[in-house]
Structure 1
Amino acid sequence: MYEKKALVQKSAAEVLLGLVSIKEDENVLDLGCGSGRTTREIARCTKGIVVGTDISGSMIKEAISKDDGKPNISFLVKDAECLGFRDSFDVVFCNSAFQWFSRPKKVLKQCFTALKTGGRIGIQAPATAMYCPNFVTAVEKVRNNPATKNIFGFFKNPWMFLESEGEYRSLFEKSGFEVVTCKIVKESARFAADQVYGIYQSGAENGYLNQAFYTVPLTDAYIGTFCDLVKKAFKEQADESGMVNLTFNRIYLVAKKP
């Protein structure tokens, strides 16, 4: 499902690939590679070693199953806080994953160590508390609905969103990097309401309906009602033609290891 519905992650990855500008002989770490779609694209850009890592064993299994025979690519299950690489990569590429790192300083320390001197890291991630106004508005219906508000009150936000370019820049500089590019961009595209729900399922739903982020048990009734409310909200956001103007605030950052 992620492979089919992660449309906005794919388009953002293409922008990030342009920013990091991978050379034909560079070794690349794709951090939080998911099902490996972008990792395989990276492997077509370079003859160097390409390693995709993700904390999800299921995602890595999916990535390996789609192996297209490129000899320079491999996939590993790894926690971003415990990568264990040293002076191994010219580029660390991290698309639509940085927001999941609750302890980003630990992750950046691992990335700094994994990079060769002069290497660079490029990240793209949703940014600010209003990372996606469409999603935030939809979830407010869950927060306020009598059937869901009690359980939702025990939801603990799993994401790490900073509010300004300066905060992202400071985070990387304090980790030893020299920031080359740092910009929060508002991006919008039009999708049918059902497509918007699929895009929401490819990312945000993995937080909002994950038992790990609640301190009370989730019930089938809660999950079902949550999904119905979000679907209804996206339909309400559609214009007369049935299209929703889906908007994301995204951080694009490239930094160098001196």
Structure 2
Amino acid sequence: MSEVNFNSKAFTYADNALVQKSASEVLLNLLSIQPEEDVLDIGCGPGHITKKIAKITNGSVQGIDVSQGMIEQAISSNKDLPNLKYSVMDAENLELNTKFDVIVCNSCFQWFQKPDQVLMRCFNVLKEGGRIGIQAPATQSYCPNFISAIEKIRMHPYTREVFNHFKSPWFFFDSKDEYEQLFRNHGFDIIYSELREESNLFSVEQAYKIYQSGAENGYLNQSYYTVTLTDNYISTFRELVKEALQEQADNSGMINLKFERIYLVAKKQ
């Protein structure tokens, strides 16, 4: 998993990631973390979910993220939870001496370039009978609103040539069966899985912030282009996305923002 653009988003992510927060609550309910369990939070970002976990359990809680900026923000905001620590670490190279009862992977599974390697390493750091839970955008239609906005980028005369050099960083399956099989391939039993279509009403401004908290970190990341991005391209791209979202708003200025999302909990055999 590359570092993407999350260093620059560390201070705003927790406020802007409205959809991720809602989905994380579903995931934590599914995992039902117990009071003495040790928990690893993969892709913890600035730590808002990790801190919630550390208040659920008295066990040790560790958050890891590939972004130095995110981890610095997480550490700086942790003042009173002695059972919680953070580390800069790539999930694809996960190697820890500690074993965990639970692994939480909230809104980051789609970023893994080598999901097989991640799951192999997760299996190794779980205790016998330990469980892993993920929630993540899924399917090629992960968010029809954003995909529609990106079509404007793909077709617009000012952006189409550069965007033609964009290579998507995301990993998506189009069915829950494919996600289940991936986990089974690495020694996990499936406890729960569901592919959901979720929708919520947001203002155009909120929808744009949600887009910026996640999708923009791929669409405007130099790592995923074979040509150099210019400031003009980036600013034009952003204006076109805002314009596209505005066009999706109803008469009251609200957008019905839809996501396809996988929820899956699996147990180490």
Are the counterparts in 2 of residues 85 and 113 from structure 1 also a CA contact under 8 Å? Answer: no
User: Which residue identity is paired with 2:15?
Assistant: K
1 CA distance for matches of 2:170 and 2:143? 13
1:146 to 151, 157, 171: 157
* 1:213 lines up with 2:224 in the alignment: yes
1 CA distance for matches of 2:260 and 2:36? 33
Aligned match of 1:48: 59
Count of equivalent residues: 258
What fraction of aligned residue pairs are identical, expressed as a percent?
57
Q: Any gaps of 5 or more consecutive residues in structure 2?
A: 1-11
Aligned match of 1:162: 173
Displacement of 1:85 in angstroms is: 2.3
The within-5 A match list for 1:1-258 is 1-85=12-96, 88-258=99-269
Displacement of 1:83 in angstroms is: 1.3
> CA, structure 1 residues 162+86, in 2 after alignment: closer, same or farther (shift >3 Å)?
farther
> CA, structure 1 residues 87+49, in 2 after alignment: closer, same or farther (shift >3 Å)?
closer
Paired residue secondary structure (1:166): helix
User: Which residue identity is paired with 1:179?
Assistant: I
How far does the alpha carbon of each residue in 1:57-109 deviate from its partner, in whole angstroms, 9 at most, with x for none? 00000000101311100000001011112561000000000000011000001
User: Which residue identity is paired with 1:195?
Assistant: Q
1 CA distance for matches of 2:180 and 2:98? 23
Runs of 4+ more than 2 Å apart: none
1 CA distance for matches of 2:14 and 2:105? 17
2 CA distance for matches of 1:80 and 1:172? 16
How far does the alpha carbon of each residue in 1:11-65 deviate from its partner, in whole angstroms, 9 at most, with x for none? 0000000000000000000000000000000001000000000000000000001
State the TM-score, normalized to the length of structure 1. Answer: 0.99
User: Which residue identity is paired with 2:71?
Assistant: I
Are the counterparts in 2 of residues 120 and 254 from structure 1 also a CA contact under 8 Å? Answer: yes
Aligned match of 2:5: none
Q: Any gaps of 5 or more consecutive residues in structure 1?
A: none
